[in-house]
Amino acid sequence: MYKLLSKINSPNDLKKLKTDELAALADEVRAYLMETVPKTGGHLASNLGCVELSIALHYCFDSPTDKIIWDVGHQAYTHKLLTGRRDVFHTQRCYKGISGFPKRCESIHDAFGVGHSSTSISAGLGMAVASSLANGSNRVISVIGDGSLTGGMAFEALNQAGHLRKNLIVVLNDNEMSISKNVGALSSFISRKMTGSYYRSLKKEMEELITGIPAIGSNILHFAKKAENSLKGFLTPGTLFEALGFEYVGPIAGHELEDMVAVLENVKKIEGPILLHVMTKKGKGYPPAEETPDKFHGIAPVKPAGAAASKPAPPSYTQVFGDTMVKLAASDPKILAITAAMPDGTGLSGFGNKYPERFFDVGIAEQHALTFAAGLATEGFRPVAAIYSTFTQRAYDQVFHDICLQKLPVTLALDRAGLVGDDGPTHHGAFDISYLRHLPELTVMAPKDENELQHMLKTAVYSGRPVALRYPRGAGYGVAMDQELKELEIGKGELIAEGDDLTLVAIGSTVYPALEAAKMLKEKGISAAVVNARFVKPLDSELILAQAKKTGCIVTVEENALQGGFGSAVLEAISDAGLTSVRVKRIGIPDSFIEHGSQAQLRSDLGIDAAGITATCEQFLSSQSMQMPQLARVK
């Protein structure tokens, strides 16, 4: 079935094919993606649209000597198939399998580790400058999508690249607009001619000839360039990139392999920064993905035929957040919603459809999103900025300088807080408690379930202060949902299970596992109290210290880095209170980056599920019993 693909174990094997065989290879790659990705889940539409571009790049350039950097990396599946990972591709995004994104430790052909957007041009420029300093002759290619180009970092890099004039090729993979075959063929023809060595040498000779005309030569050249630029600006979007110092080539049809190869062969001979504009079709070759590419951007694994149907899952935290936003906005016109290119992912599409004038998608621009929200807050509005926890890291200074320092009532809705699963270390929301809880004026809260989430959202919106509300990826627990929303008392947790031997103090997604662990401990003769902390900051020190005095042993549980996390806040409170005899054990994410796998598998590995919490508590009490018998309360 895969006659050509089965022979390719490296880019060198690809180069053995004739140019007219590449289209057949592209068909095989597309078929292979359609066979494998639905089994593992992953980014389907973007990869179907990038097959020919990936083949052409590896056919024309010499990886790993030439460096190919993929922005975000979610479109790099064909790249992986062509660089020796075909036989393990079925493990991508699976526990202990290969990553869904390029990783330097995975292959010498992965020139730069990615997962977040708009980084490829900066990284590529760094490599291009390094090559220049080392007197190298290799080429550097940064592949960036039109979506990622909305990120300000991309333009910062373009600006410097145009100034430095190093050999950098930026490939703009543009799948936003369709392009007809006739226009594409004409564009490809023009691009091949415009990048050919004959045309470029002729243009240079003409410029030298014109400038040599006495008195009026420079004026004629200026007029000629102005006319050329006016025509190119009218016919192509290249004027902006040329103003930044790039040689603009395109647009070319991104699914015509022979044309792309011809253009790339010419482009790699040009000195200086080049922007190659390639038009592609997201979801190419799979009609449902072509028609609704957003629905096939990222897909979950498809169950095998005949597999037992699972019962419907409870609504996700994301869905509950979105529904609650709509509910709150119905009675308050000052509530506004902001997202950074993730209206579906953050659950705000419904809000945007119902209140389009109060919904703002700023593109991939987290820094701008938060300062924009701060500006709205100064005028009496109640902005809610919904951004994934991992992407909020990109706007840390805005949280500090533009929101907290000015005490502005902006709500940060941190979706995907904690372990996200198959997307791995670039997407885990493992650090937000640590990088937020030390900021003055900021309230940090996390709900134990989806019902508490809706109450916390109302609490945040009407608190009159900066608030970060973190909640996990995935379905809720199916608890009953209160119809009437209420505001919670800021800084107050709740004791949800009594106990005498130790106290489990849990936050957010770890509360229910802690409750389950308490039941398991009870079967072993250990009486464990459980506190739903609710607030990381301000911490309910009164409740926690009371339990510390009562049981003498505190075990904190969080789905966040232990360094500077929730457990650290509890330790600080106990230390500040002078309770030196109280023993504390923290459970959370260790000082390492956590790889990809299912959420359940990763939580089990880290000991933050019910079984892991139970085992840690037993070991903790056992060690305390041996060291200080008077503190042992095990019955």
3-state helix, strand, coil in the chain (%, to 5): 45, 15, 40
Looking at 28, 52, 256, 366, which residue is catalytic? 366
Looking at 103, 192, 281, 282, which residue is catalytic? 282
Backbone angles phi, psi at 223, to 5 degrees: -65, -40
Surface-to-core class of residue 180, CB atoms within 10 Å of its CB (0-12 exposed, 13-18 middle, 19+ buried) = exposed
On whether the CB atoms of residues 132 and 166 are closer than 8 A, the answer is: yes
465 is a catalytic site residue? no
Residue 49 DSSP SS3: coil
Backbone angles phi, psi at 608, to 5 degrees: -110, 20
204 is a catalytic site residue? no
On whether the CB atoms of residues 105 and 176 are closer than 8 A, the answer is: no
CA gap 533, 544 in Å, rounded:
8
CA neighbor of 109 nearest in space, from 141, 69, 63: 63
On whether the CB atoms of residues 517 and 609 are closer than 8 A, the answer is: no
Q: Give residue for tokens 């198959």.
A: 422
Return the exposure string of 612-621: e unless at least 16 CB atoms fall within 10 Å of the residue's CB, then b.
Answer: bbbebbbebb
On whether the CB atoms of residues 576 and 525 are closer than 8 A, the answer is: no
* Two structure tokens written together for 621: 């009490």
* CA-to-CA dists, residue 377 to 354, 370, 385, 465, 611, angstroms: 22, 10, 11, 10, 44
- Helix axes of 51-60 and 22-40: crossing angle, nearest 10 degrees: 130
* Two structure tokens written together for 586: 């923290």
Surface-to-core class of residue 237, CB atoms within 10 Å of its CB (0-12 exposed, 13-18 middle, 19+ buried) = middle
595 is a catalytic site residue? no
Strands 443-445 vs 535-537: parallel, antiparallel or unpaired: antiparallel
Looking at 93, 103, 382, 394, which residue is catalytic? 394
Residue spans of alpha helices (H) in 552-631: 566-576, 599-606, 610-627
Return the exposure string of 353-381: e unless at least 16 CB atoms fall within 10 Å of the residue's CB, then b.
Answer: eebeebbbbbbbbbbbbbbbbbebbeeeb
On whether the CB atoms of residues 460 and 469 are closer than 8 A, the answer is: yes
Residue spans of alpha helices (H) in 236-305: 238-243, 257-267, 287-291
Residue 391 DSSP SS3: helix
Residue spans of alpha helices (H) in 385-449: 389-392, 396-397, 432-436
- Catalytic residue positions? 282, 366, 394
